[in-house]
Structure 1
Amino acid sequence: MNSSTVLDVAHSEASSTVISASSQQRIAIIGMGAMGRRVVSSLRAGPFNGLAIAGLDPYADAQALKAGLGVDLFANLDDLMAWKPTVVVECAGHAAVEGVVAQCLERGVDAIVASVGALSSDELRTRLHDAQEVGGSELTVVSGAIGGLDALSAARGSGIESVKYIGRKPPRAWSGTPADGEFDLDAIDKPTVIFEGTAAESARQYPKNANVTAAVAIAGIGFEKTHVTMMADPTVNKNVHEVEAKGPFGQLNIRLENNPLPDNPKTSWLAALSIEDAILRRLQHVI
């Protein structure tokens, strides 16, 4: 990723942080689906009394969001900008990164992006970089459903020789993807490779599953050099992510087994938690 983009994966130690006054922060959530609502609920349950939160979603129920979560809902970007957010948090998918986030950055509003897979596009990464230059704003990319990417990013300093990612999901979790047409998912009775190639190729062919591989590629050696294997595996009942990196620094191995978000089984709970963590650290200061 361009140098002006922050790969925001570090975690602050609870003992070394205090909550700062957040009255000047105005948080706008792009997309008020299960993930967006989860993020707002977490913020409302935290120590930030009176935190200003708005949503951008033309399809959500404005009355219900205002009554249940205290969220001002807007149906278009101009109205949201008039509300004067200090940061927008994308929870709406790849199209929102291109259609909304870039415009916010150009207007000087910082952005936190969850749909990392959108950044597999060279053209979009360039556009977002230029938007930051124009607006003097900052883009934060969260780690999503994978962890340990701060170590992978640090390892680049010594030169990384290889990065491999293996993703395993139960066979039916691949329904609605290209694998659904190529394989009889109900008949798979042993771990089966459904895709093998680069992170760039996986993002093009499996865009709905690209967020983790994109985060790994950005933290490590890029989309063309990151090797990706995706498997339909009847021996697992969770989404399993494995990363192996080798270089002069040594060898790095990461394995995560993620539970789904209770309100949306297609989304990893850790993905929502990574967004919440990025917002939390924006509202904190370190002593």
Structure 2
Amino acid sequence: MRLGLIGFGNIATTLIGLLQNGGLVPEGLVVQVRPGCGDKVRAELETRCPDLAAEVVSDTDDLLAARPDLVVECAGHSAVTSYVPLVLQAGIDVLVVSVGALADAALQTELTKAAQQGGARLILPAGAVAGVDMLAALGAADAVSVRYRGTKPPQAWAGTPAEDALDLAALTEPATFFTGTAREAARCYPKNANVAATLALAGPGFEATEVALVADPAATGNIHEYDVEAPAARYSIRIEGKPSTGNIKTSVTTVYSVFREIRNRVGPVAI
């Protein structure tokens, strides 16, 4: 498989390591990065995986010209807006890590149309949360409710509106600083609320998914808890994910979720 990446930060580099360790090194790799970053990324790729046929580009046309079988977006909400529609229209499947970008209803519609026009698939991984398969199945019913609570260490909320509500550095106990819908959470906390967006898309939608965000000085990782009530089942899930190396805002389980999607595409058995 030829793999494309949009972005080459913590998620992309961790993913490449997982692919190498799992014996799933792609036949070819093309990475789209910001203009001016190419030389640095080429040098890093040569160090990490000298035997991998890798190409680094800074333009989406060059990414498409490489004809990857799958493109993984791991560069943030703006990358979803700027590049993903073009890739889908070209008939190439895209796995979007920045799921929260779809809180923009117009963008969600645009991506859906682009996938239909190109005959491609927009793939939304489970990311840092478990049980999305059951929620998506139960979502066929009308009466599904989801309540989500996301807890992270105070420093994980630095640079977000949480700083306006709390003195993060002085916290001595858990503090809830946001309650609202998944759409509001994804818009206000784009780097922290992808889980809320994923649950909304799998379940009752952005407006009907209730969200609470918490800063807890005792938290050693990123904790995701949610309750589901549906006619066919009721369940609760709690995941304490370890943060990625170099990015406390992202759970490392997010990268494992992307790895699973790739493994299911190339392996003889999908699970």
Secondary structure of the structure 2 residue equivalent to 1:144: coil
Q: Distance in 1 between matches of 2:3 and 2:98?
A: 18
Q: Distance in 2 between matches of 1:156 and 1:127?
A: 22
What runs of 5+ residues in structure 2 fail to find an aligned partner? none
Secondary structure of the structure 2 residue equivalent to 1:236: coil
Quote the sequence identity (%). 39
Shift, 1:262, TM fit = 2.1
Map 1:149-164 onto structure 2 (within 5 A). Answer: 149-164=132-147
- Which of 242, 245, 251 is residue 234 of structure 2 equivalent to? 251
2:183 maps to a residue whose letter is A
- The yes-or-no answer on 1:144 pairing with 2:127 is yes
Q: Counterpart in 2 of 1:213? A: 196
Q: Which deviates further from its counterpart, 118-127 or 174-183?
A: 174-183
Q: Counterpart in 2 of 1:65? A: 45
Map 1:103-252 onto structure 2 (within 5 A). Answer: 103-252=86-235
Q: Cα gap change, 1:49/1:197 in structure 2, threshold over 3 Å: closer, same or farther?
A: closer
Shift, 1:281, TM fit = 0.6
The two structures, once aligned, show a CA RMSD in angstroms of: 1.6
1:265 maps to a residue whose letter is I
Secondary structure of the structure 2 residue equivalent to 1:209: coil
* Contact 2:148–2:211, Cα closer than 8 Å, also in 1: yes
The structure whose RCO (Cα within 8 Å, separation 6+) is larger is 1
Q: Residue deviations 1:87-109, cap 9 Å, x none?
A: 11111111111111110000111
2:240 maps to a residue whose letter is E
What runs of 5+ residues in structure 1 fail to find an aligned partner? 1-24
- TM-score if structure 1 supplies the norm length? 0.87
* Contact 1:65–1:73, Cα closer than 8 Å, also in 2: no
- TM-score if structure 2 supplies the norm length? 0.92
- Which of 24, 29, 39 is residue 53 of structure 1 equivalent to? 29
* Contact 1:65–1:72, Cα closer than 8 Å, also in 2: no
Q: Counterpart in 2 of 1:16? A: none
How many residues are treated as equivalent by the alignment? 263
* Contact 2:157–2:249, Cα closer than 8 Å, also in 1: no
Secondary structure of the structure 2 residue equivalent to 1:223: coil
Structure 1 stretches (4+) deviating beyond 6 angstroms?
Answer: none
Q: Distance in 1 between matches of 2:268 and 2:32?
A: 28
1:191 maps to a residue whose letter is P
Q: Distance in 2 between matches of 1:68 and 1:122?
A: 39
1:29 maps to a residue whose letter is L
* Contact 1:171–1:232, Cα closer than 8 Å, also in 2: yes
Shift, 1:193, TM fit = 1.0
